[in-house]
Amino acid sequence: MAFSLGFVVIIVRSDKATDDRGRKTFVKLGCEKGGKYRKYKVDAVPSVYGTHKCECPFRLKGRPCLEEDGWVLNVMCGHHNHELAETLVGHPYAGRLNMSEKSLLVDMTKSKVTPRNILLTLKQNNDRNVTTIKQIYNARQAYKRSIRGSRTELQQLMMLLDRDKYSYWSRCADDSNVITDLFWTHPDAVKLLNSFNVMMDSTYKTNRYRLPLLEIVGMTCTGLTFSATFAFLSTEKQSNFTWALEKLKDLFITSEGGPKVIVTDRDLALMNVIANVFPESTSIKMF
């Protein structure tokens, strides 16, 4: 009812009757804009933060019926001191997923359905759904964190590589056990890698830590591409590229020992390493 009127009801206070004297079962409901903003830092400057709380006086109080099942709801204050919203689309509280929607999101995430299509399905199932795409991404991330448990992102990646029978190598810094570089590939990709030419490029837009990801992509004779290998590198120095390309070279079982043509961007470090590791290959610079 509150959603249809243009505001959100929250639980202000509640209690449950126990054997302790004076405790009764009740619940107080109020508008989400009730109360005052509480600073998250003592020295927070007023111009830095914003708040939608305006001490709205709207209050309801519910208590169980004494003679039969159910609740009695009394209106303590039935008016607001602010304008009601015309729509709650984009509202974080109104757009929360219920249990059935969360279950559907988990099933679709396991099936590799994109967030856009997940949101479309939820809205088709419920005409009153006001969930946004950002909330879908947040729910997916929360689900993935629950699967990972106490493992770090790197530990989760290593576990998945072992589970799915990937071939991978890693190396650590000289004075610590911290992994600095990680190279992996799938056995099926190795078979294709030995038959076609490859393209190499590094990108920073694939992970939250802004580490360079060296992606090596192969191209078939019909113009289709396939992901051959990947490597997380700590830096884009020649030593890192040399280690990654040496691992790539070990995957080739042909007499030539490497692809005939390698396409890269104009990264000088990568170009120099390709010339040393694959001297018989023709390197094409693009971009």
103-112 per-position pLDDT tens digit: 999 999 999 9
Q: What is the pLDDT of residues 116-134, one digit of tens each?
A: 999 999 999 988 888 999 9
Mean pLDDT for the stretch of residues 249-270: 79
Q: To 5 degrees, how large is the angle CA 106–CA 111–CA 114?
A: 85
The per-residue pLDDT for 44 is 66
- The confidence band for 256, taking pLDDT boundaries of 50, 70 and 90, is low
Q: Alpha helices of 41-128 — where are they, by DSSP H?
A: 99-110, 115-125
- The top-scoring range by mean pLDDT among 56-65, 82-91, 150-159 is 56-65
Contact 252, 258 (CB under 8 A): yes
Lowest-pLDDT range, 28-32, 85-89, 180-184? 85-89
Distance CA 277, CA 268 (A): 14
- Going from N- to C-terminal start, the domains of the chain cover 1-86, 89-149, 154-285
Check whether domain 154-285 has CATH 3.30.420, yes or no: yes
Can you give the pLDDT at residue 260?
79
| Most confident segment among 27-31, 47-51, 222-226 | 27-31
Distance CA(142)–CA(150), nearest Å, equals: 13
- Map tokens 């967030």 to a residue: 115
The pLDDT tens digits for 34-86 are: 888 777 777 766 655 567 888 899 999 998 887 778 888 899 998 998 888 88
| Amino acid 85: pLDDT | 81
Give the torsion sign (CA, 74, 80, 85, 91): negative
